[in-house]
Structure 1
Amino acid sequence: MNPPIDISEQAGVRYLHFGSDWIQGAMRIRRPHALELAYTREMMAGLLLRDGLAADGGRWPRKVLIIGLGAASLARFVHHHLPQARIRVVEIAPAVVAAARQFFKLPAEDARFSIHLGCGAQYVLERDETWDYILVDGYDRNARAGALDTLPFHQALHARLSEHGLMAANLFGRARGYKASLERIVHASGGRAVAFPSCDSGNVVAFAAAGEPVERSMDELRLRARQLKEETGLDLGPTVTRLEQSGTLPGAHLRL
C-alpha cells in the first residue's frame, strides 16, 4: 500500500501530501523537533496528565507506540525531547517511511527507535506488548481511518496500555464526524476517555487511560503546561485554556 507522495514548501515549512492538497504532516525546516501542526501538539497533551513515574520507576513514558508515521512529527518530538522513551512506529506504507527519511528527518533506527511496516490494527491485535503512551494518527489519502476506527481495535489497544497507560487518537476527518469514533473509545476504555475541545484546525484529539487514575485540577494543568514549555518548547497553554472555557470538566477537574 503506497499512496502518491507529494512534498511542498511554504514560508519555511515543508508539507507532506498524499496526492492532493490535503496536508498529512508538516515540519518547520529550521525547527524540525518542534510540532508545527496544532493537533500534533495536542496529541502530546498526555504529558500534562502523566508527569510522574512509569511502571519501572523511571520517567513517564518509558515505552511509546506511534501508529501512523506521516511526516514523522510525533516520532521526532518524542525521540528528541523524551530521551527515556523507547519508541516503536507502525506504518503501513513503505513510501511514507521513505519520504520521512528523505524529507522529514526521520530518526535512524537503533535499539531505542524502530519502525514496523504493516497494519497498525493488525499489529495491536496480534501482539501482547504493553505501552505507556499510544498515539494513533493513521489515515489514507481520503482521510479514512479504516480498521483503526473499530471497536475491536480500540478494545485491543486498551488492553495494551500499561498500569500508567494513556492513548491519544486524532479523530479528525472520520465519516459523520467524530462522535461515533469517540463512543467506541469510551466503550473500549470502560468510560475512561475524553475528547478535548476542537483545536483551530478542526481536529479533535481523544484520550483514554488505563491503570492508575488521572485527576488534574486546572491549576495543576496550567503549572504542568508551563513546565513543559520551559523543558521542550511545547506550548499546551492554549489547550488548557480551551479545556477551561469549554465547561465540560466537572468541578474544573480532568478525571480519567
Structure 2
Amino acid sequence: MGIPIDISEAAGVRYLHFGSDWVQGAMRIRKPNALELAYTREMMAGLLLRDGLHENPAQDAGQWPRKVLIIGLGAASLAKFVYRHCPQARIQVVEIEPSVVAAARQFFRLPPEDGRFSIHVGCGAQYVLERERRFDYVLVDGFDRNARAGALDTLPFYQALRTRLTAQGLIAVNLFGRSRGYKASLERMITAFDDRVLAFPSCDSGNVVAFCADGEPVERDIPELRRRAAALKAASGLDLLPTVTRLEQAGTLPGGVLTL
C-alpha cells in the first residue's frame, strides 16, 4: 500500500504532503519552475562550486553538471529546475513511491520523460548500490511520511555514492538540522568522504543541506562566491547571495574560503 498523498494551497503556493501537515514539496503556481522552498535553493549551490550555467549561459559545451541523479522526487522542484536551466544535463530521477510520481505529473507540472530526463520507480539506495553509472551532481532528498530517510542515511549508502561520482562530482543531501539524528548523519558522511563534507547553516525551516565532494578539490573565496551567485541569479533567477552571507556570518568558511 502506497503512502497517502495530500495537496494543499495557500497564498498562491501548492504544497505536497504525505498524509500529514509536514510539507514534502511546494510550487508557486505562477512560477512553476522556481525553487519555492529555501532548502531546495541551497541544494543547487553546487552551481557556485563548479563551473556551471552562470559562466556562459549561451554555451553548454563542457558545462557542469552533465549527468545528474535526483533521489526523491517530491514536488519535482529540483528536477524541473535542472531540466530548465541546465540544458546540457541528462537527469535521472529515482523515486520509491509511484503515487509521488503521479502527483508530480498531475499537480506539479513534472516534465515528460525524454532523451535527457528519465524516472526510475524504486529504492534510491538500491539503485546506487546496483548501478555502475557515474554522476556529476547527486541530489538526495528522500523521506517517508515520518520524515525518516531510512536506507538513504546509512554509511554503506554514502560510501556507494562516493564511488558513483565523476572527477568533478558533488553530492547535496537534505538533512533535518533539529532532528536527533542530524549529527550522526553528518558523521556518516564525514567517514564516507574522508572529511570532505560541508554542512550549510540551518535554514529557518530547520533543514540543513550538506555537501560532499570527491575528486577535484573546491576552493572559492567569498568574493568569488558572491560573483558567481550574482551571475547565477542573472542566468536563472536563483538567488544564492543570502546563502553566501549566511555561510560568512556563521563562521563556516575559515579564512573566508570555502574549501571542499
Please indicate the TM-score interval, normalised by the length of the shorter structure: over 0.9
Alignment of 1:3-18 (within 5 A): 3-18=3-18
Give unpaired runs (5+ residues) of structure 2: 54-59
TM-score, scaled to structure 1: 0.96
Q: Residue 26 of structure 1: CA displacement?
A: 0.2
Name the CA distance, whole Å, in 1 between partners of 2:245 and 2:179: 28
Partner-residue secondary structure (3-state), 2:144: coil
Contact (CA 8 Å) 1:194, 1:207: kept in 2 or not? yes
Letter in 2 for 1:32: P
1:239 and 2:239 equivalent? Answer: no
Residue 67 (structure 1) aligns with: 71
Q: How does 1:1-256 map to 2 (within 5 A)?
A: 2-51=2-51, 58-172=62-176, 175-256=179-260
Q: Could you tell me how far apart the structure 2 residues matched to 1:202 and 1:74 are?
A: 19
Q: Specify the code of the residue in structure 2 equivalent to 1:18.
A: F
C-alpha distance in structure 1 between counterparts of 2:39 and 2:177, whole Å: 12
How much has 1:186 moved relative to structure 2?
1.0
1:225 to partner: Cα distance: 0.5
TM-aligned CA distance change 1:75 to 1:52, over 3 Å: closer
Contact 2:177 2:202 (C-alpha < 8 Å) held by counterparts: no
Distance 2:112 2:61 in 1: 27
**TM-aligned CA deviation for residue 184 of structure 1:** 0.7
8 Å contact kept, 1:194–1:208 = yes
Q: 1:72 to 1:52 in 2, by over 3 A?
A: closer
Mark the CA change 1:11 to 1:52 in structure 2 (over 3 Å): closer, same or farther.
closer
Counterpart amino acid of residue 47 in structure 2: L
Superposed displacement of residue 175, structure 1: 4.9
C-alpha distance after superposition, 1:216-249 (max 9, x if no partner) = 0001100000000000000101100000001121
* Runs of 4+, deviation exceeding 3 Å: none
Matched residue SS, 2:103: helix
Instruction: Assess if the C-alpha contact under 8 Å between 1:144 and 1:174 holds in 2.
Output: no
Q: Contact (CA 8 Å) 1:2, 1:96: kept in 2 or not?
A: no
What is the alpha-carbon distance in structure 2 between the residues aligned to residue 199 and residue 231 of structure 1?
A: 24
Q: Specify every segment of 5 or more residues in structure 1 that has no aligned partner in the other structure, as ranges.
A: none
CA distance in 1, matches of 2:217, 2:170: 10
Between the aligned partners of 1:198 and 1:7, the Cα distance in structure 2 is: 26
User: Any idea what SS the aligned residue of 1:243 has?
Assistant: helix
Residues paired across the two proteins, number: 254
Q: What letter corresponds to residue 92 of structure 1 in structure 2?
A: I
Shift of residue 177, structure 1, vs aligned partner: 3.9
CA 1:52/1:5 → structure 2, altered by over 3 Å: closer, same or farther?
closer
2:182 is matched by which residue type in structure 1?
Answer: Y
The answer to whether the 8 A contact 2:178-2:206 is kept is no
Contact 1:143/1:174 (CA < 8 Å) preserved in 2? no
Let me know the Cα RMSD of the aligned residues. 1.5
Alpha-carbon distance in 1 for matches of 2:68, 2:209: 17
Distance (Å, rounded) in 2 between the aligned partners of 1:67 and 1:150: 14
Q: Secondary structure at the match of 1:134?
A: strand
| Letter paired with 2:238 | L
SS at 2:207's partner residue? coil
CA shift digits 1:103-132 (9 cap, x unpaired): 000010011000000000000011111000
> CA 1:89–1:52 in structure 2 vs 1: closer, same or farther (change >3 Å)?
closer
- 1:173 Cα offset (Å): 6.7
Question: Secondary structure of the equivalent of 1:194?
Answer: strand
Same amino acid, percent of matched pairs: 77
Q: CA deviation at 1:200?
A: 1.4
